[in-house]
Structure 1
Amino acid sequence: MVRSVLDVDSVGPMESDPPSDLQTEAHPKNRFGNELPRVDLFVCTADPVIEPPMMVVSTVLSVMAYDYPPEKLSVYLSDDGGSELTFYALTQAAIFSKHWLPYCRNYKVEPLSPAAYFKSAASPRDHTKHRQDFIVIQRLFEDLKNRIEKVTNIGRVPKKLRLEHQGFLEWDSFTSPRDHAAIVQILLDHDEDTEGHSLPKLVYMAREKRPDHFHNFKAGAMNALIRVSSMISNGPIILNVDCDMYSNSSDTIKDALCFFLDEEKGHEIAFVQYPQCFENITKNEVYGGSLRVLREVDFHGLDGIDGPLYVGTGCFHRRDILSGKSFCNSSDQGSKLTDWKSEKDTHCNQRETENIQILASCTFESDTEWGKEIGLKYGCPVEDVITGLSIHCRGWKSVFHNPKRNAFLGVAATTLDQTLVQHKRWSEGDLMILISKYSPAWYGIGRVHPGLLMGYMMYCLWATSSLPTIYYSIVPSLCLLNDVQLFPQVSSIWFLPYAYIIISITAYNYLEFLRCGGTTRGWWNDRRIWLYKRTSSYLFALLDTILGSDLSFVISSKVIDTDVHERYEKEMIEFGVSSPLSIAVATQSIINMICFLGVCYKINV
């Protein structure tokens, strides 16, 4: 595919390199001017306890500050916890955005998250005006942080603060995070900032939750966002990010649009996927959380055969394709810029949003195709992967864009338990795809490139790889303890094939990891974690699928204990809470240790 996207160089927190003439011409902002499409930005959160409101609003502020016409941006926060704490934090962020966005615009701020920016930026010394503005905006951010954290710590919004915004009236009849009515509040309707420029539209949404209606986890929230946004802004391009994945580059939207607006291949592209990158990865990646090889090798390979998987965050979609549109390879497809230009933004007042709330009700999808042929797919813990597969099967292609400067940065797991739980959900969901009607083993044949089908199958077979791995990690030790010869002797010629396979695979894996920027110790940690995951996470995912356990979606906590964080920085393994997953790892280790000590005893005797 023809690439017309900028590679954004990594820059410091206070400045960015000026674009070259070629870069200036390539960007869609300079090619299309005011005819650029509107973009709706979706941020999803679910629990104010494990996903702190301050982290959520920092992500929201980062996507509001993109270098893109603000009158064409609309930011939606889906709060699946229906928390007044999150709503309060967003109201305060809306006020702060009137100062933050002008500061980002005037001084080319990177990263765009105020929390990340002030964590790494130092007060400028060479520009008096810049220094004064820095001190002012930093003080405003600290005030914002203190207000939000004070309310979060007491666990409720005081009555005096509730009087500041009429939206808090929605919580008068509030019952619980799992039992409440739909809430839609427009906090900013392209209001002006302190310099008179337009601000992006900012909308809070908490879809209706009732105990007797299954809510379909994140997929249900995303589908509610698609419907609600279609009545408020209806941007033809949608970006969805998790609440912990803040924007790290101001050019991300413009880069993605270069693919969609490409004159030759743009009409084939359904979504543009950015990699998941993390800001808290240690040097030697004690939990293998960087997904380094997947990001630098696997997804680039898939990009050459119709595109990568949809991984649930950091992804730009065409709205009409999420609505079930199939690809038609006709000459009149094109980039559809004229259609995007003709669409108009809607200015809704708060009274009109009351009518929109029905779109976020728990009964709206009854007897419809939502979750089946429209929107994200239901019935699978990895709704993103199965949705991307169905899009590929309808004839569309995707793009993997991995710029030099990371587009998004999130928070990786800081304990072994978090890592194992996360991979259990992923592997269980992928296995459910394998045995579903959307399985690449049969549904994708003839619809998707064979190489891409193999790419999907690689992940779908994660859970089943637990069985041979357990055999390999335990049986040889037991055989050694009991003097059972499992492999040919070293002096035998039949030992050479085993030696060749082990050495060649290990060497290739090691060199591949180093080539992707890893360290030797990081590679060793990565191999160890893969063994832990295959003998615990993948095994329990396989058993749960076979036994038909209830579908679950466990959210990883983004709150890091101080002591845990210190041990994580020292790259000490933290088991976290006791669980069957960690017990499986410990049991395997004990078996191998007993076998080793038994062999040593026999040798000495």
Structure 2
Amino acid sequence: MHSRGWRSVYCVTKRDAFRGTAPINLTDRLHQVLRWATGSVEIFFSRNNALLASPRMKFLQRVAYFNVGMYPFTSGFLILYCFLPALSLFSGQFIVQSVNATFLVFLLGITITLCLLALLEIKWSGITLHDWWRNEQFWLIGGTSAHPAAVLQGLLKVIAGVDISFTLTSKSATPEDGDDEFADLYEVKWSFLMVPPITIMMVNMIAIAVGGSRTLYSPFPQWSRLVGGVFFSFWVLCHLYPFAEGLLGRRGKVPTIVYVWSGLISIIISMLWVYINPPAGRTQDYLNFQFP
């Protein structure tokens, strides 16, 4: 319609014009985001692409439609950013070669800019800070799970002609037997979309353990690199916290042995990494002790 020159008006009524039900289950929610992202990818590769629109479409409309069709492709950079802190802790090298004043000023400028953008979004949308933070968290969860799958499905349809079949998501409904209204929220249904976020969480947690072990056993510990890597890994884990909470389901449902085994496996992997790749100073001291 916009490509043909029609004008539209964004209308917000005092009362809700339409109401409907939405999935509250983690798996169903991810599949819904997958459908949305796949539709954006299909539009991007179709003749309705904003870049190929008629001259009647305005410039800002063209930018908006291009953003809608392009955002699933940014998931590759997002996944890379989530793994960078872990790679920094595994290798013992910080993300940048040297932490100098220029880097800190640059990082401070970016942080302040992001904070101002967040305040602008909160004031424009009229939501609370908690709601905005939840939206940011789910943006990262969907960006590392549903968006890459949507890009893959879109490319398969364009290149190989593979049709994509969607499954309807179950919507939450009020139970008739008087049970918990949000019982569907605690149901965990396994999906391949959960693999990337789980991998990111496990890699970052193991990287924190490995980085801490290397720093503690090193004769010349570099605490600045450890603190920097742990900070960014912890920032990634903070965004994925709702995903982990939804994956565990209802509180008290997961046995304690799961946490015990998870911690034990992380400790074993970190000790194995230190044994395979020990700090250079400790290896040289050991060789000098054995062969004076």
TM > 0.5 between the two? Answer: yes
Aligned mates of 1:420, 1:489 — CA distance in 2? 39
* Correspondence 1:550-565 to 2 at 5 A: 550-560=163-173, 562-563=179-180, 565=182
- TM-score (norm. length: structure 2): 0.65
Question: Are the counterparts in 1 of residues 4 and 54 from structure 2 also a CA contact under 8 Å?
Answer: no
CA distance in 2, matches of 1:460, 1:517: 26
Structure 2 counterpart of 1:536, which letter?
S
Counterparts of 1:449 and 1:506 in 2: how far apart (Å)? Answer: 30
Among 62, 67, 73, the residue aligned to 1:458: 67
Q: What residue is the counterpart of 2:228 in the other structure?
A: none
Q: Which residue of 2 aligns with 1:448?
A: 57
Deviation at 1:537, TM superposition (A): 0.5
Q: CA deviation at 1:452?
A: 0.4
Provide the C-alpha distance between the structure 1 equivalents of 2:133 and 2:209, rounded to a whole number of angstroms: 23
Name which of 418, 430, 441 aligns with 2:28.
Answer: 418
Q: Distance in 2 between matches of 1:447 and 1:564?
A: 49
Cα distance in structure 2, aligned partners of 1:538 and 1:453: 22
Distance 1:590 1:484, change over 3 A: same
Larger relative contact order (CA 8 Å, sep ≥ 6): 2
Residue of structure 1 in register with 2:188 after alignment:
576
Query: Does structure 2 conserve the Cα–Cα contact (< 8 Å) formed by 1:480 and 1:599?
Result: yes
- Tell me which residue corresponds to 1:601: 213
Are 1:483 and 2:92 counterparts? yes
User: Does the residue aligned with 1:556 lie in a helix, a strand or coil?
Assistant: coil
List gaps (5 residues or longer) in structure 1. Answer: 1-390, 569-573
Question: Residues 240-255 of structure 1: matches in 2 within 5 Å?
Answer: none
1:137-159 Cα shifts (integer Å, max 9, x gaps): xxxxxxxxxxxxxxxxxxxxxxx
CA RMSD of aligned residues (A): 2.2
Amino acid at match of 1:513: I
Which residue identity does 2:33 align to in structure 1?
Answer: H
**Which one of the candidate residues 185, 195, 199 is aligned to 1:587?**
199
Secondary structure of 2:2's match?
helix
- What corresponds to 2:111 in structure 1? 502
The one-letter code sitting in structure 2 at the alignment partner of 1:425 is R
1:171-250 map, 5 Å? none
Seen in structure 2, the aligned counterparts of structure 1 residues 598 and 575 have a Cα distance that, compared at 3 Å, is farther
Deviation at 1:508, TM superposition (A): 1.7
Aligned residue for 1:338? none
Q: 1:425 to 1:488 in 2, by over 3 A?
A: same
Does the CA contact (< 8 Å) of 1:420 and 1:537 recur in 2? yes
1:595/1:499 CA distance change after superposition, 3 Å: same
8 Å CA contact retained: 1:537, 1:581: yes
Q: Give yes or no for contact 1:480–1:595 (8 Å, CA) kept in 2.
A: yes
The residue matched to 1:409 in structure 2 has which SS? coil
Tell me the residue number matched to 2:81: 472
Q: How high is the TM-score relative to the length of structure 1?
A: 0.33
Q: Specify the alignment match of 2:9 in structure 1.
A: 399
CA contact (8 A) 1:425 1:554 kept: no
Change (3 A) 1:496 1:445: farther
Q: Choose from 146, 152, 174 the match for 1:543.
A: 152
Amino acid in the other structure paired with 1:581: L
CA distance in 2, matches of 1:510, 1:583: 33
SS at match of 1:393: coil
Q: CA deviation at 1:563?
A: 4.8
- Preserved CA contact (<8 Å) 1:510 1:523: no
- Aligned residue for 2:9, secondary structure, equals strand
1 CA distance for matches of 2:80 and 2:40? 22
- State the partner residue of 1:40: none
Shift of 1:404: 2.2
State the shift of 1:436 in Å. 0.9
Distance 1:577 1:531 in 2: 20
The 2-side partners of 1:510 and 1:453 are apart by 26
Output the CA distance in 2 between the equivalents of 1:510 and 1:482. Answer: 36
- Mark the structure with the bigger radius of gyration: 1
**Structure 1 match to 2:131:** 522
What aligned pairs does 1:129-140 form with structure 2 within 5 A after superposition? none
Q: For residue 511 of structure 1, report the CA deviation from its aligned partner.
A: 4.6
Deviation sequence 1:376-428 (CA, Å, 0-9, x none): xxxxxxxxxxxxxxx21122112221112221122232122122111111111
CA distance 1:510–1:583, shift in 2 (3 Å): farther
Instruction: For 2:164, give the aligned amino acid.
Output: L
Q: Which amino acid aligns with 1:496?
A: V
Looking at structure 1, the residues matched to 19 and 141 of structure 2 have their Cα atoms a distance apart, in angstroms, of 26
Preserved contact between residue 84 and residue 95 of structure 2 (Cα < 8 Å): no
**C-alpha separation between the residues in 1 aligned to 2:121 and 2:103?**
28
Over residues 265-300 of structure 1, what are the superposed CA-to-partner deviations in whole Å (9 max), with x where a residue is unaligned?
xxxxxxxxxxxxxxxxxxxxxxxxxxxxxxxxxxxx
- C-alpha displacement at 1:576, in angstroms? 2.8
How many positions carry a matched residue from both structures? 209
**2-side partners of 1:567 and 1:423: how far apart?**
18
Structure 1 residues 405 and 418: CA distance shift in structure 2, 3 A: same
Q: Return the structure number with greater strand share.
A: 1
Q: Distance in 2 between matches of 1:496 and 1:532?
A: 29
Which residue identity lines up with residue 135 of structure 2 in the other structure?
D
Shift of 1:507: 3.7
1:534 to partner: Cα distance: 0.6
* Larger fraction in helix: 2
Deviation at 1:488, TM superposition (A): 5.7
Percent identity between matched residues is 27
